[in-house]
Every structure is written in structure tokens, then in C-alpha cells.
């Protein structure tokens, strides 16, 4: 945030300098303009203009498949923004137990969770147990405990 204020201050100083300019030395003006332009490009590449990218990525549907020695199934998270930093999460787990090498009938569990977005850590913190949900927009993924989900919508 401090860099945004610095950039605004530099723009203000540049405009003030242009209004006070009484000489014909345009090289100084062009040099300062170039420095200001390069500073803006540098700050935008550092993510200062893209600070909400994770927050914008969060809403959606995430899924994962799992298979173990005793069960096989799928797990889906549907995340929606409720208000402010609060998100509502609907978790649907569908699985089939294996007994004696045979799959049993499907079982379902539906859980509703709420979580709050942490600006400093850029994660969701689930309210009841304090579980951390982190995101990787570049890989289109969500991490919830040891489970990795892929964003499907």
C-alpha cells in the first residue's frame, strides 16, 4: 500500500513541476516522465495493481477425485462470496466404501462452512475449526488441508 501512495505522490510532484516550469529544458521533463513511466510499469509488475487477483479467483466450483484402499469417491467445494471478507462454502462428498474388494452403495455428506478472507495471508480461514484454505490462481488450484482441488468453474 505504501508504494501506491509513493506513486501518487510522484505523479503529484511531476504535475506540480510541470506547472512551475519556466525554462525550455525539455530533456529534464522527458527524463522525469520516463522515470515516472518506468516506476508505474515496475509497480504494476510487482502486483500492486493486481492485489485482488486471489480474491477474484476464490468464488467458483472446485473438485477432486480420491481413491484409497477402503473407499473411492469425489469431493466438491462450491465457494461464494457472502459479504465483505466472508465466504460461504458448500462441501459435497460422495464416496463408496470397499469391502472384500467390492464397492458398496454410494454415500453422501453435505457440509456448509463459512470462512473469512485474510488480507495479509491471502487465504480463507474457516470459522469453526480454523482450517486454512489457500489458492494458486496460476495453477487453477485450491489447497484445503492436504487435499488439492482443481477449479472447474
Reported as a single tens digit per residue, the pLDDT across 92-128 is 999 999 998 889 999 999 999 999 999 999 999 999 9
- The alpha carbon of 70 is separated from its chain's Cα centroid by a whole number of angstroms, namely 34
How long a stretch of residues is the chain? 153
Confidence of residue 135 (pLDDT cuts 50, 70, 90): very high
Residue 43, C-beta contacts closer than 8 angstroms, at least 6 positions apart: 3, 4, 7, 49
Q: Which residue has the higher pLDDT, 48 or 44?
A: 44
pTM: predicted TM-score of the whole model, two decimal places: 0.65
- What mean pLDDT is predicted for residues 57-84? 95
Does one domain contain both 32 and 61? Answer: no
Number of independent structural domains in the chain: 2
Does one domain contain both 21 and 83? Answer: no
CATH code, domain carrying 71: 2.40.128
- The pLDDT mean for the chain works out to 83
Which residues constitute the domain of residue 138? 53-151
Amino acid at each position: 500500500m505504501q508504494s501506491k501512495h509513493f506513486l501518487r505522490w510522484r505523479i503529484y510532484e511531476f504535475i506540480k513541476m510541470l506547472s512551475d516550469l519556466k525554462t525550455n529544458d525539455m530533456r529534464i521533463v522527458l527524463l522525469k516522465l520516463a522515470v515516472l513511466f518506468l516506476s508505474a510499469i515496475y509497480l504494476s509488475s510487482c502486483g500492486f495493481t493486481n492485489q485482488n487477483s486471489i480474491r477474484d479467483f476464490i468464488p467458483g466450483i472446485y473438485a477432486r477425485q480420491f481413491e484409497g484402499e477402503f473407499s473411492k469417491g469425489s469431493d466438491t467445494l462450491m465457494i461464494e462470496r457472502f459479504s465483505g471478507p466472508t465466504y460461504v462454502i458448500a462441501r459435497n462428498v460422495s464416496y463408496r466404501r470397499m469391502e472384500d474388494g467390492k464397492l458398496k452403495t454410494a454415500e453422501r455428506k453435505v457440509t456448509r462452512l463459512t470462512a473469512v478472507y485474510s488480507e495479509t495471508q491471502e487465504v480463507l480461514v474457516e470459522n469453526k475449526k480454523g482450517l486454512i484454505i489457500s489458492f494458486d490462481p496460476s495453477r487453477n488450484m485450491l489447497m484445503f488441508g492436504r487435499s488439492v482441488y482443481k477449479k472447474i468453474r
